[in-house]
Chains A and B, each alone.
Chain A
Amino acid sequence: MSKPKKEIKGGNVSSGKWGYLFILPFFIAYTFCTLIPQLMTFYNSLFMNYRDGLTQVGPKFVGLQNYITLFTPDNSGSIGILKYFGNTIVLWLMGAVPQIVIAMLLAVFFTSYRLNIKGQQFFKTVIYMPNLIMASAFSMLFFTLFSPVGPVNQVLLASGWADKAIDFLNIKVSVRLLISLMNFLMWFGNTTILLMAGIQGIDQSLFEAAQIDGANSWQIFFKVTMPLLSPILVYTVITAMIGGLQMFDVPQILTNGRGMPNRSSMTMVMYLNNYLTTSKNYGMAGAVSVVLFIISAVLSLVVYSSLSKQYKEPKRHRKY
């Protein structure tokens, strides 16, 4: 494959106006559909503003009161938002770690000339399929499967593995496992394909050289593949992180919005949603959004720094 020997700075100055013109639609749409609503959300967080029945309470300026409320221990003695942030991270890790590890494993399998896997097209197609189902339909299926009278319990009871139906949806560990399993199933195919592409991009001669030096496959993986794959791995981790932070549909529908048991499967966005539904509490919802924004901003900084490093040296790729 011939490398494009492009130099981005080749465009002349007068064509710069075309650059502005071409990126204009994006920025107009972004401003109206995302930026302004975001600013409105932030602005809302400084007001007491909710609905009590059909009565609107506020908006009344309260300064940082909503944030103080947010970080005051609630009835259970814990700071709600920190607890739900913790839940989100735990749920994300439980799904994302196996997702990336297994995807890595599969990517290595698929690209290995020695293994020479047959039916790759079939496997790749199949592992991608769960990504197509609506999260809500997927959660409903899981809900039916694992309910106390569902097929899983029927099998467990019939085979004598359990003498009493197991209430999967009310045990902290199993609820979290189910949510992670669903997220895993929905995303590992996608990750596999991305990583596979990354491995294929590595210069084959490096593998050959390592082999001649007498490295075994583990050594090759950890000393050659992993380091060279790290940029795309970072990308994978970051996109998975974005997805994790936004986790909503799956736990929401599986637990019917309750995050049971004891709110241990309630995520940040579910918490945000609690304020939005009945009470239309735009003040508190705004404050939760701002916190969510700050967390994302910190994460983006990580990406920002790693990306801007790359961006300075646009020619440095693939030939490491």
Chain B
Amino acid sequence: MKKRLTVLATAMAVVTALTACGGSQPAATTAAPAETTAAAATEAPATTEAPAAETAAAAEESSEGKVFNIYAWNEEFKGFFEKYYTVPEGVTVNWIITPSDNGAYQQKLDEALLNQANAADDEKVDMFLAEADYILKYAGSDATQDVTALGVNDFSNTYKYTVQAASDNNGVVKGVSFQCCPSALIYRRSIAQDVLGVSEPDEVQAKLDSWDKFNAVAKDAKDKGYYMTASFAETYRVFSNNCTMPWVDADNNLQFDPQIEAWIAQTEDFINNDYTLTAGVWDDEKNKQMFADGKTMCFFGPAWYFNFCMGNAQDPEKGCSGDWAICEGPAAHFWGGTWLMAPAGTDNPTMLADIMNTFINDEEVCSALVANEAQFSNNQKVNAKFAEDESYGNEFLGGQNDVAVFSEMTDNIVWENHTIYDQLLNEGLQNQLQEYFKGSVDKDTALKNFYNYINETYPAINTP
């Protein structure tokens, strides 16, 4: 925590210096900050107490910007936004979409946010999307602002971890999520029947509710000619979400949580015994296992996973829609989720707040997200309504009420031990270890390559 505070303290001066000078002429920066810092200070409302900004926003509603710029990395939210949000008359919404490959989205966003104070009104970032893996980088910085000051105050129905995730160290909320992403064990009913002798969620859960049981069942699955999972990294999140310490300590030294070690040990075992494949979580090789002729019993994923990643399973000819079901699995965890963040310096604060309120508190919209889009909404009241509805069921899951299952799981999700480095550290570790699991390098070499990767990607982290 101490580290983060010092980071924040230095952030303003250095960041503005960079914006002014592009970081290329260090000699000149000494002169510039005085002026630009002042500009930034007036621009960025002091996060906790900004009555000035608030009243200004309320009073000048009509004089707000005519262009609303949203930064995103894909089209998912854009689809929902266009369907369920009515844009005020006279406002043009601009989507600036940059793919997240190799961190490209964050690079683009960072440039824009660092340049926010100098940008013309119509060029300013008015809202941006962020994922769980790097949300802290933005929520913990001065590039975002307090949403309660903008009029987003009612968090009574949102899930607690989604609010924590979007808050800085002082508990100031900087954004909201339109979805809640408890992640479940998604299994093939027919394969479970063959391997476990049961296929109903409660019974399957009873046989898979701990890692010991899970690992033992993997052997049974193998004996019957099945794979337990289809990717070496399939269980990564289930472990990493339950870490008891962050990736780096107070002095920025890299550290491996016992949960990460446990994942490596489990995967070594799974790979050596052919319980899983060496494919990555997003690879075709894994996705092919979702067809009807696939041999894999378990996948892990939240509500968005069904539509976003299980296209093969839903294929009308070769898929196996209806042969699936979900249960909590060995450990509670979440995966992903998209937060709508409030950038400091937006010239459309009212509309920004309106969008946020719509997607967390408008029951009609939240219901539509559940009913039409197979989302698990971030509104407990709406979700409860679906969970209790006897007639509600997901065809893909053989009529199972997934909202009810997800609702039960939410209480066990914790949000702690995150760093601004999580995304690329998680990704980098998986990528480097994949080479080890595929047998091209030994474990030691893979870890050393991971450290090299960190040195290049995050010079501030000290590697062993």
Contacts and interface: CB of A to CB of B under 8 A. Distances in A.
A282 interface: yes
B314 interface: no
Main secondary structure of the interface of B (DSSP, over half): helix
A12 interface: no
Given A75-B452, A281-B456, A40 B24 contact: yes
Nearest to B438: A170
A280 B106 CA distance: 12
Interface in B312-338: none
B288 A149 contact: yes
Interface in A37-70: 40, 43-44, 47, 49-61
Given A74-B452, A76-B445, A263-B449, A278 B457 contact: yes
A80 interface: yes
A53 B14 contact: no
B388 interface: no
B435 A262 contact: yes
A203 interface: no
A49 B7 CA distance: 15
A130 interface: no
Contacts of A124: none
B441 A52 contact: no
Contact of B456 (A58, A77, A170, A279): A279
B143 A54 contact: yes
Contacts of B448: 74-77
Interface stretch (B107-115, B174-182, B220-228, B300-308): B107-115
Given A75-B463, A261-B435, A58 B458 contact: no
B26 interface: yes
Contact of B29 (A59, A258, A281): A59
Contacts of A262: 435, 440-441, 445, 449
A52 B459 contact: yes
A45 to B, nearest CB: 12
Given A75-B451, A261-B441, A54 B113 contact: yes
Contact of A261 (B143, B284, B440): B440
Given A59-B29, A279-B456, A54 B110 contact: yes
A277 B102 contact: yes
B279 interface: yes
Contacts of A75: 448-449, 451-452, 455, 463
Interface stretch (B15-23, B56-64, B353-361, B372-380): B15-23
A279 B23 contact: no
Given A52-B459, A278-B103, A172 B440 contact: yes
Contacts of B262: none
Nearest to B18: A56
Interface string B202-228: 000000000000000000000000000
B449 A56 contact: no
Contacts of A284: 456, 459
Contacts of B23: 49, 56, 58-59, 280, 282
A272 to B, nearest CB: 10
Given A260-B440, A278-B103, A149 B284 contact: yes
Nearest to B289: A149
Nearest to B24: A40
Given A40-B24, A52-B7, A281-B456, A170 B440 contact: yes
Contacts of B407: none
A271 B449 CA distance: 13
A78 to B, nearest CB: 10
B459 A279 contact: yes
B438 A51 contact: no
Interface in A244-298: 257-258, 260-263, 271, 274-275, 277-282, 284
B110 A51 contact: yes
B46 interface: no
Most buried by A among B15, B103, B113, B438: B438
B278 A167 contact: yes
A131 interface: no
B424 A278 contact: yes
Contacts of A258: 431
A238 to B, nearest CB: 31
A55 B26 contact: no
A22 to B, nearest CB: 32
Given A44-B24, A56-B18, A282-B23, A148 B279 contact: yes
B312 to A, nearest CB: 12
Contact of B103 (A58, A277, A282): A277
A257 B11 contact: no
A257 to B, nearest CB: 6
Contacts of B460: 50, 52, 57
Contacts of A117: none
A71 to B, nearest CB: 14
Centre residue among B420, B453, B458 by max chain A CB count within 10 A: B458
Interface string B135-162: 0011001010000000000000000000
Contacts of A148: 279, 285
Nearest to B440: A261
A111 interface: no
B391 interface: no
Given A59-B23, A80-B452, A277-B102, A54 B445 contact: no
Given A54-B11, A54-B138, A262-B440, A76 B449 contact: yes
A134 interface: no
A55 B459 contact: no
B170 interface: no
B272 interface: no
Which of B420, B440, B457, B460 has the largest number of chain A CB atoms within 10 A? B440
A171 interface: yes
A38 to B, nearest CB: 12
A57 B455 CA distance: 15
Interface in B252-279: 278-279
A282 B313 CA distance: 45
Most buried by B among A44, A75, A76, A80: A75
B10 interface: yes
Contacts of B15: 54-56
Q: Which of A43, A52, A60, A74 has the most CB of B within 10 A?
A: A52
Given A54-B15, A172-B440, A147 B456 contact: no
Contacts of B279: 148
B459 A281 contact: yes
Closest 4 CB pairs of A and B: A261-B440, A59-B26, A75-B451, A56-B14
5 contacts: A43-B24, A49-B26, A52-B460, A74-B452, A258-B431
Given A55-B11, A278-B102, 8 more contacts: A52-B459, A57-B14, A60-B26, A75-B455, A261-B435, A261-B438, A261-B440, A280-B107
